[in-house]
Structure 1
Amino acid sequence: MHPTLAYHVTNTLGWSQLRPLQVAAGEAIQHGEDMLLLAPTAGGKTEAAAFPILTMMEEQRWSGLTVLYICPLKALLNNLHPRLERYAAWLGRDVAVWHGDISTSRKQAILRNPPDILLTTPESLEAMLISTKVDQRRLMRDLRVVVVDEVHAFARDDRGWHLLAVLERLHRLAGRPLQRVGLSATVGNPQDLLSWLQGSGVGRRAQVVSPEDGQSAAQPDLELDHVGTVSNAAKLIAALHRGEKRLVFCDSKQMVEELSALLREHGVTTFLSHASLSAQERHRAEEAFEQTRDCVIVSTSTLELGIDIGDLDRVIQINAPWSVASFLQRLGRTGRRSNTPRNCLLLALDHDDLLSAAGLLQLWGTGYVEPTQPPPQPRHIVAQQLLALALQEGRVGDQLWSDWWNGLEPFEDAQEIVEFLVSAGFLERDGGMLFVGTKAEQRFGRQHFRDLVAVFTAPPEFAVLHKNAEIGRMDPGLLTAQSAGPRLLLLAGRTWQVDWVDWKRRRCFVDPVEGTGGEARWPSSAFGGTSFRLARAMRDVVLGADPPVRLTQRARRGLERIRGEYGDLVHAGGTVVVREEGDVVWWTWAGHRANATLRATLGPLSDPAQRTDALNLRLRNDLDAQTWRRAVQNLPVLLPEVDQRALNGLKFSAALPADLALDTLRSRMADAVSAAHVLGEPARFLMR
């Protein structure tokens, strides 16, 4: 470590030693290796990357913008900025942050005098690259290192593919490979994640650093309870752990609002955080929560990532997240003080929720963590990148465009997409050069091609304002539904009465009212659903396995009831087919994606009207055991069919041939490996 840094780490921060992660990372980063640093929340990952990078910056006399620090959330950037600014200032270096909330004047100042380190998001990087007001080559010519925080969060959806493609373009602008350092919570396949992060640089020296530090290895304090309703959950949270700082995770914005309102009725100091609250509202809540002792903050997954909200005493989870990885991230919010264990109280609502929570804890108890798997076939991202490159460069050679992505896998066979973009008018070709066509300007060109910057589609929402201050955003369906009296909304944990609606500008003006009765609603968000491994862990619970945590008497009674209800629908050696009240149901315990794949594979043997369930499939009601076994023998696995309307959720699908867009969605809905495994298992028939 540079001597000045070492001095301040000892005397300003008061650290007597570095953590094992920070020691292990320092030397490898300074040797120029690509790296993945794994540690729980508050595990010191930021410093493990920042200190050796600052040391290199000073010893090798880097100048200009040499380091990009990329985060998935603006709030995380804002949270990290003062900390990194402090560290850099010890060496006379400067740090700036750039995202959509930063003023134009501040951005112009950054362009005039680039900082040593820039904190930003992939969307803001894309906006810089396609902007006519930014000299991209001048700004990026000194780049050497890219730090990607919460890299696992990027890798699990299309933002990760977008990020990798943008990094390859930066590689070309800088004229050198960029050292890549990823920071991540625990994942099941760290080496695969590191190779993915390397992009076209696979084969460069790289290593995963994940030393145990004792604290993370300590057994956490976990308890599962069955409370029945959100109201009961509020009563229990209000009664427990008074005087402590508690973070409660919910699986929907609506539940966050409802639980927060109930907690306030019980006299609990309560704050909220979810994506449809305004940035100012979330920041005020998180700041107040950090400074208050006896309080609760209720959140969706927005606080799962590494935003610092101070020292927590307790984490409470309503129901369960969909993955062990997410559970570990939330659990890691606690236990930051020495000699205090990580802890989590899980409160299951109905019996299905109890089974899911018990299954998740059972899976966690085996030491399993899901592999992070980027979504397959990101063809729509390829189309978006081709259009973005044409904007960035003005025009690009129709035989040279692939050079910008250095052989990155999604771009290896993209000529069909290029030809479609030209034939559909998204790109135009002239003299061997490609440039943005009129169709792209019509479809994506509003507000300087803002629609081309983000790769996700946000549902339409109305801004909710009180005295011109935005509180948050709400589903417009709440403003059009019939209402017997004054229209009341529940937002930021308070009830508001709608004053008037500006339909043209999508704004709703409200006034606060006393009492309750407000309604909260948002479009349901897409999720991967129950995985094969989680569904099988739920089956293990039904078969009698108790998760290795404390179970309250209510939870034990609930599990006993579940085992009584499902006892005939499981067996350890395979699957069960039962006839009940005229229906034939195949209990696969295979998860949503595997069951969707099985339904497509079975074709006319399955009931096409059934919505995909995680645990079972409804079959043709005249099936018997002999017919079934003959039909499924050597049956080839097929991908699920996709409704044409589903393409609305795949941004840039209009820039793809219809068959490629549909095939992309089908591949993402499938779990062919698990489906094939289930088809090969013996099926027990119970025809009642």
Structure 2
Amino acid sequence: MSNNPFYKLSGFIQEWIFSHGWDELRDIQIEACRIIFETDKHMLLSTGTASGKTEAAFLPAITEIYENPPASIGILYIGPLKALINDQFQRLEELLDAADVPVWRWHGDVPRNLKQKMLKHPSGVLQITPESLESLLINKTVELRRIFGDLQFIVIDEVHVFMSSERGRQVQSQLERLGKYFMKEPRRIGLSATLGDYQLAEQWLQGATGIDVITPAARGLRNKRLKLAVEHFFHPNPNPTSFTEPARPSGGKFLPAHQYVYEQTLGTSSLIFTNRRDEAEFLVASLKEIARKQGTPDYYYVHHGAVSGELRESTESIIKDPNQPSVTAATLTLELGIDIGSLERIVQLHSPFSVSSFLQRLGRSGRRTGVSEMLFVHYEPEPSENKPIHELIPWQLLQSIAIIQLYLEERWIEPILPHEAPFSLLYHQTMSILASSGELSPAALAQRVLTLSPFKNISMADFKQLLKHLLEIDHLERMEDGGLILGIEGEKIVRNFRFYAVFQDSVEITVKDTTREIGRIAHLPNTGERIPLAGFVWEVTDVYPEQKAVLVEKVAGKMRYFWPGPGMDIHTKVLKRMRKILFEDTRYKYLQPGALKRIDQARKLARIVHVDKHVLFQLAGKKWCIMPWIGSIAYRTLQRLLDIMGKDSLGISRISGWAPYYLRFEADDQEPERLEPLVKALVMQANTPRELVDPDEQFLMNKYDKYLPKLLQQKVLAEDYLDLEELQQLAKDWK
């Protein structure tokens, strides 16, 4: 009996397990207990959603800090989303209530008085976002040893999200900066449901600690039953993605896809994932309108990053209630590990960007039943016979099928691509370290910054170039003794709360009614304008430019509003699988009648025009289209190559397209037999990505790129956003 890890857990945890009706610990929880209790290693837990990862991490770690209470915070939990932290907080608070072990939340929506309580008595578990951790590093420097000095565990949730983003490199930097305050190196526990490369994840989690990482065997979704369906509709509106799209097509009928979503989710607890905020708002407005006409209850909600924290938390509480139906349209904010036990169905509007995102969203359902259910809904304008080839391909439908098949056939998930030139983060951490430390000599600053693992590939020459530029633009100031401090302009940036985040945030205007904050929008509207937000339409009654706020009142109707933001890259393997689908005869079982008919049409067309033999198609006269079937990075490289190198040699101009599916352009040569090999030869002639960067070009992809010298901006573009080697390898297969 003593060998059973269950009996090594603290007594109050054993009682909590019994009170929740558990018959036994799950395999992943048993393995996690053994690793925590019997080794001193880091641990990476990568299993499917609802597999018990959170409990596997926390139950043994809490036992350790309960049996041997540390003199500071014992467990630091870092999560990517406020919603995830709020959810985990409720679960941990219930568990720890009887043990007198405090659990604290720390993010932008947590009241100041609760943060002050933690600062007075740092102990137990602290749950925090990277942005709030950055704030502590800058503003509470003298207290960091007291807060974290005896830290025992660092739990990093949704590791795959951090690994693939600037925030993940920020977290690596933060933990290494905190390292000088630790009495001993805390053990790290990483959690993820979707990892494609475990070795890379282990290296990321290990960081600069030198401690090995143990990863128990992963099971993913393999033990779950999957119920998938993909449907497609032709839209009667000639431009269904227009931001001025009417509420319904002519004749008073509702949009077929919206009507279908209404019918499929009626009376259920469902999540609808969209790829854009405006899609979520517009869909919910349509569902509310249909419900009013049908005389059914309105239980439709919106959840995305521009909705206020209060309303998001209210929606999360409603979603979790097993006694009432709810249908919520969401973006990435509900993709990650928030526990929604009663959720019955996931609906995906159009295709997700990746296999990883598909698995995360699929995993939201079936936590209690063991059946993960997901319905894909696609719609597009009905194509006319005179449309060009690239407009007759159902790109999004193909992408959904490709993503599903890549997982079902290969269990493949996108690998995490390294970033060689993280100069935006370099600026951020340089300014953060100076803000927290005060004056530093250039050598001391370089030693503190360049020894952080995200900057291992940054040369001293590049760092000196950055410092010189920051002195020129008054972000830094040189003292008489040669030391560096924040300059006047740098102080303005660092002392603004938005500095703590390394991701782009264009949402700045606060929207309020007479009682509360509704959310935020990107641009200051005029009085009388209408805004769709949080599932309703609001009319602006007052505008306060200096406060960056507007006052609104609720009105009837629905409309579109555009939130700016970058898209997400799609992997080349997805595009290759999409092309393969066109030349298969397989009738996938999950395809519903509309989707099956649309795929049959696309396959027939692809064979007629020989999409398997050509990538270049003549549209009319000098107008051409290239469908290269390559991922976003290679597509971006090709677009630049045609623009910069193709102008003089081939007379290429007027380039446009839909990334990464096709490019349109005009060219002098009007013979397909000549132009296609010439384009291929042009691709193979390029030597380095730097040839595809204009010497006068500014590249402003990341948040702090605008503060970099131009040469470093161009280096970011060439090294992290272009891949000439991949493009040339793929071009070898062009017929």
Aligned with 1:562: secondary structure? helix
69-78 or 175-184, which deviates more: 175-184
Shift of 1:531: 2.3
User: Where do 1:293-442 residues align within 5 Å?
Assistant: 293-338=324-369, 340-350=370-380, 351-366=394-409, 367-401=411-445, 402-403=447-448, 406=451, 408-411=453-456, 413-423=458-468, 424-425=470-471, 426-430=475-479, 434-442=483-491
User: Where do 1:451-466 residues align within 5 Å?
Assistant: 451-466=498-513
Partners of 1:407 and 1:288 lie apart in 2 by: 43
In the comparison of the two structures, how many residue pairs are matched?
670
User: Where do 1:205-224 residues align within 5 Å?
Assistant: 205-212=212-219, 216-224=222-230
The one-letter amino acid of 1:46's match is T
Partners of 2:653 and 2:11 lie apart in 1 by: 68
Shift of 1:431: 8.0
Match of 1:664 among 716, 719, 725: 716
Shift of 1:92: 3.2
Partners of 1:449 and 1:411 lie apart in 2 by: 28
Decide whether aligned partners of structure 1 residues 625 and 675 sit closer, same or farther in structure 2, where only a CA change above 3 A counts: closer
Partners of 2:680 and 2:299 lie apart in 1 by: 60
Partners of 2:614 and 2:480 lie apart in 1 by: 62
User: Where do 1:285-684 residues align within 5 Å?
Assistant: 285-291=315-321, 292-338=323-369, 340-350=370-380, 351-366=394-409, 367-401=411-445, 402-403=447-448, 406=451, 408-411=453-456, 413-423=458-468, 424-425=470-471, 426-430=475-479, 434-445=483-494, 448-476=495-523, 479=526, 487-513=529-555, 515-516=556-557, 518-544=558-584, 546=586, 548-568=588-608, 575-582=614-621, 583-602=623-642, 603-604=645-646, 605=650, 607-611=652-656, 613-618=659-664, 620-622=667-669, 623-624=674-675, 627-628=678-679, 631-633=682-684, 635-636=686-687, 638=689, 640-641=692-693, 647-683=699-735
Partners of 2:694 and 2:215 lie apart in 1 by: 38
User: Where do 1:172-191 residues align within 5 Å?
Assistant: 172-191=180-199
Q: Is the 8 A contact 1:250 1:300 kept in 2?
A: yes
The one-letter amino acid of 1:493's match is G
The one-letter amino acid of 1:283's match is E
User: Where do 1:83-162 residues align within 5 Å?
Assistant: 83-131=91-139, 135-162=143-170
Aligned with 1:308: secondary structure? coil
Q: Is the 8 A contact 1:530 1:592 kept in 2?
A: yes
Q: Is the 8 A contact 2:525 2:543 kept in 1?
A: no
Gaps of 5+ in 2: 1-7, 241-254, 292-297, 381-393
1:278 aligns with 2:278: no
Decide whether aligned partners of structure 1 residues 305 and 132 sit closer, same or farther in structure 2, where only a CA change above 3 A counts: closer
Decide whether aligned partners of structure 1 residues 54 and 501 sit closer, same or farther in structure 2, where only a CA change above 3 A counts: same
The one-letter amino acid of 2:455's match is P
Q: Is the 8 A contact 1:4 1:91 kept in 2?
A: no
Q: Is the 8 A contact 1:543 1:571 kept in 2?
A: no
Partners of 1:564 and 1:637 lie apart in 2 by: 39
Partner of 2:391: none
Shift of 1:452: 2.9
503-512 or 645-654, which deviates more: 645-654
Partner of 1:163: 171
Match of 2:267 among 236, 243, 250: 243
Partner of 2:244: none
Aligned with 1:265: secondary structure? helix
**TM-score after normalising by structure 2:** 0.85
Partners of 1:34 and 1:394 lie apart in 2 by: 34
Q: Deviations over 1:413-465 (max 9, x none)?
A: 353354345433233455877442324535514xx343431112211442221
Shift of 1:596: 1.7
Partners of 1:116 and 1:412 lie apart in 2 by: 37
Q: Deviations over 1:25-73 (max 9, x none)?
A: 2222332212221122222111111011112223444332122101111
Partner of 2:26: 19
Q: Is the 8 A contact 1:377 1:664 kept in 2?
A: yes
Decide whether aligned partners of structure 1 residues 108 and 449 sit closer, same or farther in structure 2, where only a CA change above 3 A counts: same
CA RMSD between the two structures: 2.8
Decide whether aligned partners of structure 1 residues 571 and 511 sit closer, same or farther in structure 2, where only a CA change above 3 A counts: closer
Q: Is the 8 A contact 2:231 2:592 kept in 1?
A: yes
**TM-score after normalising by structure 1:** 0.90
Q: Is the 8 A contact 2:9 2:63 kept in 1?
A: yes
Match of 1:204 among 208, 211, 215: 211
Q: Deviations over 1:486-535 (max 9, x none)?
A: 5332222222222121122222211122x31x433133321233321111
Shift of 1:629: 5.9
Partners of 1:398 and 1:479 lie apart in 2 by: 48
Partner of 1:686: none
Aligned with 1:473: secondary structure? strand
Q: Deviations over 1:91-129 (max 9, x none)?
A: 432211111222322222211110221111111111111
Aligned with 2:615: secondary structure? strand
Q: Is the 8 A contact 1:225 1:347 kept in 2?
A: yes
Aligned with 1:79: secondary structure? helix
Shift of 1:470: 1.1
118-127 or 466-475, which deviates more: 466-475
Partners of 2:129 and 2:695 lie apart in 1 by: 33
Aligned with 1:63: secondary structure? coil
Decide whether aligned partners of structure 1 residues 569 and 616 sit closer, same or farther in structure 2, where only a CA change above 3 A counts: farther
Partners of 1:611 and 1:47 lie apart in 2 by: 50
Shift of 1:11: 2.4
595-604 or 121-130, which deviates more: 595-604
Partners of 1:280 and 1:607 lie apart in 2 by: 52
Aligned with 1:534: secondary structure? helix
Partner of 2:383: none
Partners of 1:348 and 1:643 lie apart in 2 by: 42
Partners of 1:276 and 1:626 lie apart in 2 by: 48
Decide whether aligned partners of structure 1 residues 469 and 91 sit closer, same or farther in structure 2, where only a CA change above 3 A counts: closer
Partners of 1:36 and 1:183 lie apart in 2 by: 6
Aligned with 1:8: secondary structure? helix
The percentage of counterpart residues that share the same residue type is 27
Shift of 1:326: 0.3
Partner of 2:247: none
Q: Deviations over 1:299-341 (max 9, x none)?
A: 1121101122331111111111100110001101111124x41
Decide whether aligned partners of structure 1 residues 118 and 269 sit closer, same or farther in structure 2, where only a CA change above 3 A counts: same
The one-letter amino acid of 2:338's match is I
Shift of 1:562: 1.8
364-373 or 121-130, which deviates more: 364-373
Partners of 2:92 and 2:180 lie apart in 1 by: 27
Decide whether aligned partners of structure 1 residues 648 and 353 sit closer, same or farther in structure 2, where only a CA change above 3 A counts: same
Q: Is the 8 A contact 2:78 2:157 kept in 1?
A: yes
Shift of 1:207: 2.1
Q: Is the 8 A contact 1:541 1:547 kept in 2?
A: no
